[in-house]
Amino acid sequence: MKIYTIRHGYTNMNKKHLYNGQIDEDINEEGIKGAEEAREQLKDMKFDIIYCSPMIRAKHTCEIINVNDIPVIFDNRLKERTLGILDGKSLKEEGLTKKEFYDYFYKTNIENFEELPTLFERVHSLIDEIKQKKYDKVLIVAHGGVLSAIHYYFNEIPKDGDLSSFKQANCEVLEYEIK
């Protein structure tokens, strides 16, 4: 089985370097264009199913790329991480480094956000479920934090917990294989 992932199209908050988290923002014109370009890359692939975050930026991206009317399952496990104090803000505003907040796997002391182990657990439960199906090709449309969890499902988490070496760009498609 092959699992393909795509991050939602660009949003206004992405443009301003603000974290969306649970803010349910739609993609902008640049995001629509990126999704249309991704559609060209994906249109001849024969996906069995698409799993998609129910958040509007992922749903809109999915609508654009799904030209072959592939069945879509919206799954809450693919929602972006709750970022608490960072929802709608930048790291700079809160005086945090990226590693302190976003790219450090192990427990931090920042309040009101979903710890990465919790995010990874919910996303990994979905991948474990998908593995039990008889699909050949699956497409997942989701968010940066969720896609990081998928990446580290297939790749070892660094011993120091620093996850900053991985980032999936908006509308970038990556491929993973389950053997």
**CATH number, position 156:** 3.40.50.1240
Alpha-carbon span 1 to 46, nearest angstrom: 12
Please report which confidence band the pLDDT of residue 158 belongs to, taking 50, 70 and 90 as the band edges: confident
Q: Does the reported pTM lie above 0.85?
A: yes
60 noted as active-site residue: no
Domain limits at 92?
2-177
Model confidence pLDDT, tens digit, residues 26-77: 999 999 999 999 999 999 999 999 999 999 999 999 999 999 999 999 999 9
The burial class, CB within 10 Å (0-12 / 13-18 / 19+), for 73 is middle
Whether the predicted pLDDT of 97 surpasses 80: no
Known active-site residue 80: yes
One of 8, 60, 143, 151 is an active-site residue; which one? 8
Q: Where are the alpha helices (DSSP H) in the chain?
A: 12-15, 29-42, 56-65, 91-94, 98-101, 116-131, 144-154
Rounded Cα–Cα distance for residues 24 and 87 (Å): 10
Q: How many domains does the chain have?
A: 1
**138 φ/ψ sector (left φ>0, alpha ψ -120 to 50, else beta):** beta
Q: How many residues does the chain have?
A: 179
The single residue of 30, 36, 80, 143 carrying the catalytic annotation is: 80
